[in-house]
Amino acid sequence: MPETEHQAEIAEYARKIAGDAPTRFDAAVALQNHLRSGAGFTYNPDADYRGSSDTVWDFLQDKEGYCTQYALSMMVMARSLDIPARIGIGWLPGRPDGNNGYRVTGQDSHAWPEIYFPTVGWVRFEPTPQVQTGPLPAYANPSVGSAPSASPTAPRANEVPTQQPTRNPAQSGPAATAGGSSGNDVSDQTLPGWAWVVAVILALGVLGGAAWLLLRRRAEVEVLDPERAWSRVLALLAEQDVRLGPSITLRRAPAFIADEVRTRTGTPLPDDVAERLTALADAAEEERYARSSTPPTPEELEELTTTITTDLTQALTSKP
């Protein structure tokens, strides 16, 4: 760990949260849950720690940040407890695009901490609040865990995570039944009849609500945004056998398309078409990467996209 002004204070902070956890896994869950839903931390994509000499300490004090601060802070605190930790960088799943695929944009970029467990490897945890990341992984969710084991837990160095986390006995409900059985015993009591009736009614209500939402979503008209508008242009180009390779960025795309038109037809792409194409590519680029943007309205995008696709079709199908 790099030495910082608040290194010792961060280590003490971590010990107060997870220092008494019996296993490496329990310590990781404690750190995760403290950042994710405890102590007043707030997800704020506009938080700025660029001038900080100790980002982790300032974040633990200010309690506002986005995935980078949450992941970095959990990694640093885990390492201060002698737990191997690292940061993974990638993407959230995105949103369904309605065509059996997912739409992933720059807004879905994400960072998360990973903890190392012998014989298992690196395991992802999610301290960033649910407002950005969605539900926890099942194995890192205390509400899914089983009753605590009656046998002593192995030392941290030999600990291997299970699919379900263990609970702290002090935080669990009663561990014994009236007959004196331990928390690991399985009760042979069944639910009363009225409970089954309530469960069936609730299940039917959930299924009915899901069906209603599905029908409502299908009935909704797609609202055009710059990304969808740009996808329409790409689909039109693909029909004309013009495909932008993975190295063609949005900023380079208009010039690439203009070159394709010139190569195929022997005539340059009209300036007004090139300008409209550049305007749409710029809007899509801002939506993906800008901290904030003011995109054209859906009506403006509809008109712009229709004009571009019509002009490109005419330009690509005209004979040299």
Each of the 320 residues of the chain gets a pLDDT tens digit; together they read 778 899 999 999 999 999 889 999 999 999 999 998 867 899 998 889 988 889 999 999 999 999 999 999 999 999 999 999 999 998 888 888 888 888 888 888 899 999 999 888 899 999 998 777 777 788 888 665 432 333 333 444 444 444 333 333 333 333 332 333 333 333 333 445 555 456 666 666 666 666 656 555 544 456 789 999 999 999 989 888 888 877 788 999 999 999 999 998 889 999 999 999 999 999 999 988 887 888 899 999 999 999 999 999 999 887 66
pLDDT score recorded for residue 186 = 30
Give the model's pLDDT for residue 84.
Answer: 95
In the chain, what is the straight-line distance between the N-terminal and C-terminal CA atoms, in Å? 65
Which pLDDT does position 190 carry in this prediction? Answer: 41
Report the pLDDT value the prediction gives residue 98, as an integer from 0 to 100: 87
- What pLDDT is recorded for position 99? 87
Q: Which pLDDT score is estimated for 8? A: 94
The two three-digit tokens of residue 139, written as one number? 């194995």
**CA dihedral in degrees (162, 164, 168, 173; nearest 10)?**
-150
**The dihedral of CA 8, 9, 14, 15: what is its sign?**
positive
Output the pLDDT for position 214.
59
Residues 92, 76 contacting (CB under 8 angstroms): no
Residue 101 backbone dihedrals phi, psi, to 5 degrees: -135, -175
CA distance 153 to 167: 12
305 in Cβ contact with 229 (< 8 Å): yes
Q: Which residues contact 105 (CB under 8 A, 6 or more apart)?
A: 94, 227, 287, 288
Pull the structure tokens for residue 116.
């190392």
The pTM assigned to this predicted structure is 0.47
Residue 1's pLDDT is 77
Judge whether 44 and 66 are in contact, CB under 8 Å.
yes
What pLDDT sits at residue 216? 55
